[in-house]
Each structure stands twice: as C-alpha cells, then as structure tokens.
Amino acid sequence: MKQRANVPIEIEIEIKHLLIFSLSLQLHLSAPPDITSKLSCMGFFSIFSKEKKKELDKGLEKSKESFFAKLAKTVVGKSKVDDDVLDNLEEVLVTSDVGVETTLRIIERIESRVSRDKYLGTEQLNAILKEEIVGLLLENDIEKANDFVIPKMDTPYVMLVVGVNGVGKTTTIGKLAYQFKQKGYSVTLGAADTFRAAAIEQLEAWAKRADVPIITQKMGSDPAAVAYDTVASAIARKSDVVIIDTAGRLHNKTNLMNELIKIKNVIRKLVPDGPHEILLVLDGSTGQNAFEQARQFCAATEVNALAITKLDGTAKGGVVIGISDQFKIPIKYIGVGEKIDQLQVFNRAEFVDSLFPDNW
Ligand SMILES: Nc1nc2c(ncn2[C@@H]2O[C@H](COP(=O)(O)OP(=O)(O)O)[C@@H](O)[C@H]2O)c(=O)[nH]1
Ligand SMILES: [Mg+2]
C-alpha cells in the first residue's frame, strides 16, 4: 500500500479557511511531522472543527428556524413541562419529519425524565430535548464517524454509490473524491451511470474539479463493464479508493437491483471482498420519502452506509434523526450545500446541537 504522504497539504487547505492563522501557519507547511503534532496539541484542530460546525449551523438554518417557531408555541404560557407541553412537543417532532416511532421514543425518554425530576421548568426543555435525542441516537451501537478515513487494505477500498435519480449521487461522489484527495488518498472514479451522456459528463466535471482520474465508456455501455474497468485501472495505478457512480431508476426496480448485483459480481472478480461500501444516497429535502427509499433499498441491496443530501435549504432536517434512530445502517455523510467542500461526516451530537435552537 502506498504511503499517504501529503497530510501537510490537507492541513494547508484547512488552514486557508482560517485567514487569521494562515500567514503564520504557512511557514509550517513543509515542516516535519513533530511540528504538525505540536500544532494539534496547541488546539488548532479544534478551531478547524468549529469552522465545520459553523457550516453545519448554516446548512441547517431552515430546519432550525422551523423547529424554533414550532417549539416556541409548545411552551407559551407554561412554566412547567406537563402533559400538554409533551403532547405539543410530540406534534412538533412528528410534523418535522422525525417520524412517529422515533418521536414516541423521544417523548418516552422525556416523560421518564419528568417523572424522575418531579419538576422540570419549560426553560430546561430545550436542553433536555437535545440531551435525550443525542442519548437515543448514541444507543445505536454503530461505528463512530471517522473523518474521511479509509480502512487500510491491500486492495483499493471500493465504494458503490446507489440511490434514485436526482438525490445527489454524482455530486456526493465529487465531494467525496475531493475530501479523500485532501486526506492524501489516491482516488479513481467510475462513471457506471451510462444511461445519459450528461451523467457521464457531470461526473467528468467533478473528477476535474477534484483532480482525480475517471474511467468512462460511451453512453449506453454496460455499467458492469465500466465498473470492472474502473477497479482494474485502480488496481493498476494503486489507488486507495474507487468510487463508482450508478444509475437510479425506481420505475424499473427489478432491473435496477439486478444491475447492481451484476456490478457487485464483476467487482468481486478483481477485489473478492468488495465492494466494501455500498453507499445509499437519500435526498433529505424529501422528508418521509427518504425514509421510504431507505427501506426499499436496504431490503433489496446490501447497503452498509447512508448519505443524506440537500439538508441546506430545507426545513425537513428532522428526517436525519428518524433515519439515524431506525436504521441499523449508519449515516456516514451529510450534504449541506452544492459546493465541493459541503459534505460532512455525520456527527450525531453536533447535528442535534445544530438542528435544535438553544432557546425558544
Ligand atoms: N443544495 C444542495 N443541493 C445538492 C446537494 N447535493 C446534491 N445537490 C443537487 O442535487 C441535484 C441532483 O444531484 P446529482 O448529483 O445530479 O444527483 P444524482 O442523479 O443522484 O446523481 C444537483 O442539482 C445538485 O447540485 C446538497 O447537499 N445541497
Ligand atoms: Mg448522477
């Protein structure tokens, strides 16, 4: 396996976001690793994550505003968390796309807290709501978010990206390629959505932006053949990661699922334990529809990771809570904008913190 040599470049790029530090830190870019670790000890990296948190806050603004408006009404004229307040809260969560089952679980937790603490003022409700939702999501014993880190292996790490048309697959692949590249990994993309010429061109444009190689064939070619070529090429050039785009057409579900099976099988001819990640992309702005798609895809394919896109510009961010609670499959990534750097690793606690207002 190749050594991941350019970690300092990643540091450089992150640092550039922080204009205030950029001048002094540029001096350290080519510095030996011990300086990098000193920077880390000095707390610089917590500043970087604050930047990401800001972006998350901004991306979830609409959902947060909507929660704020609804939650403010639940406590009007009330000083204590009582049954009325809990009923209102239940309605707020259900109408915010959290989903009925997850809402009931959250309300149950708050109820038991109320009965334990005897008196809970409504001014504490926001903090309690956040705590209980985070507590609930952490009950799912799924792996912790890792910051675009790929497991070490002797073959490329092969990702197959699936989901219905328009959810943001190609965009997410472009963003992933960019993030992995920043981490120092070498990436190869495969354009196995061969139904439309525009789909191939779109991925080519992302490959150019992220500055990674891409394998294509002409429109209408066999997607499995493209997948095979891509993995073969990635092995030859010793890529760390392969990301394969696929077409998504729900109106022809059986064909779609058969096609995915075929793609998986050809990947296994070259990488027997691949694909390592089957990433289902869901459009968060579709709320309950995203839930439904998750159900259907997870039943039909071996999806083992989820990405939820378009959380910016929608008030339906609550759907992430429901999906994170109800699916055993972890949400790995969230899309908070169209730009190349607007994909984040999903962090449950930070997400809940950004989604719910501090005071209402
Ligand atoms: N606002 C926003 N738009 C997104 C995001 N992800 C994807 N999109 C947009 O969604 C549209 C469909 O994306 P595309 O990647 O072509 O979807 P695909 O058909 O699943 O490959 C494009 O206009 C993207 O710019 C996101 O996180 N936020
Ligand atoms: Mg596409």
Query: Which among 78, 138, 92 has a CA at the least distance from the CA of 324?
Result: 138
β-strand 277-283 against 305-309: which pairing, if any?
A: parallel
HSE of 38, CA atoms in CB hemisphere, 13 A: 8
Written as six digits, the tokens of 201 are 């061109």
Select the more confidently predicted residue: 65 or 16: 65
pLDDT at 343 over 60: yes
CA of 11 to the centre of ligand 1 (A): 28
- Confidence at residue 140, expressed as pLDDT on a 0 to 100 scale: 79
| Ligand 1 atom with minimal separation from the 343 CA | 27
- Confidence at residue 44, expressed as pLDDT on a 0 to 100 scale: 45
| Ligand 1 atom with minimal separation from the 313 CA | 1
**Segment 164-191 mean pLDDT:** 97
208 Cβ neighbours under 8 A, 6+ residues apart:
none
Query: Which among 139, 234, 257, 246 has a CA at the least distance from the CA of 188?
Result: 234
Percentages helix, strand, coil for the chain, rounded to the nearest 5? 55, 10, 35
**Segment 269-279 mean pLDDT:** 97
Q: Whose CA is nearest to atom 19 of ligand 1?
A: 166
Confidence of residue 118 (pLDDT cuts 50, 70, 90): confident
- Confidence at residue 357, expressed as pLDDT on a 0 to 100 scale: 86
Task: Collect residues with CB below 5 Å from ion ligand 2.
Answer: 169-170, 199
pLDDT tens for each residue of 206-263: 999 999 999 999 999 999 999 999 999 999 999 999 999 999 875 567 788 888 999 9
Unique residue bearing structure tokens 């109408």: 95
- Confidence at residue 248, expressed as pLDDT on a 0 to 100 scale: 83
Residue 357 amino acid letter: P
**Segment 190-206 mean pLDDT:** 95
Q: Is 321 exposed, middle or buried (0-12, 13-18, 19+ CB in 10 A)?
A: buried
- Say if residues 36 and 11 touch (Cβ distance below 8 Å): yes
- Confidence at residue 252, expressed as pLDDT on a 0 to 100 scale: 63
> Which of 281, 338, 345 to probe ligand 1 with, by most ligand atoms within 8 A of CB?
338
Q: Taking the model in full, what pTM does it have? A: 0.86
pLDDT at 292 over 80: yes
- Confidence at residue 250, expressed as pLDDT on a 0 to 100 scale: 54
Separation of first and last alpha carbons in the chain:
52
pLDDT at 142 over 90: no
- Confidence at residue 179, expressed as pLDDT on a 0 to 100 scale: 97
pLDDT tens for each residue of 3-22: 444 444 444 444 344 333 33
Highest averaged pLDDT of the listed ranges 46-50, 56-60, 124-128, 135-139:
56-60
In this prediction, what percent of the chain has a pLDDT beyond 70? 84
- Say if residues 222 and 191 touch (Cβ distance below 8 Å): no
* Range of lowest pLDDT (26-40, 142-156, 232-246): 26-40
* Range of lowest pLDDT (114-123, 154-163, 218-227, 238-247): 114-123
Confidence of residue 48 (pLDDT cuts 50, 70, 90): low
* Coil, helix or strand at residue 304: coil
- Confidence at residue 251, expressed as pLDDT on a 0 to 100 scale: 53
Query: Which among 210, 208, 209, 190 has a CA at the least distance from the CA of 200?
Result: 190
Mean pLDDT of the chain: 86
pLDDT at 43 over 80: no
- Confidence at residue 174, expressed as pLDDT on a 0 to 100 scale: 98
- Confidence at residue 21, expressed as pLDDT on a 0 to 100 scale: 35
335 lines ligand 1 (CB under 6 A): yes
168 lines ligand 1 (CB under 6 A): yes
- Confidence at residue 145, expressed as pLDDT on a 0 to 100 scale: 66
Angle in degrees, CA 348, 352, 354, rounded to 5: 120
What value does the CA radius of gyration of the chain take, rounded to a whole number of Å? 22
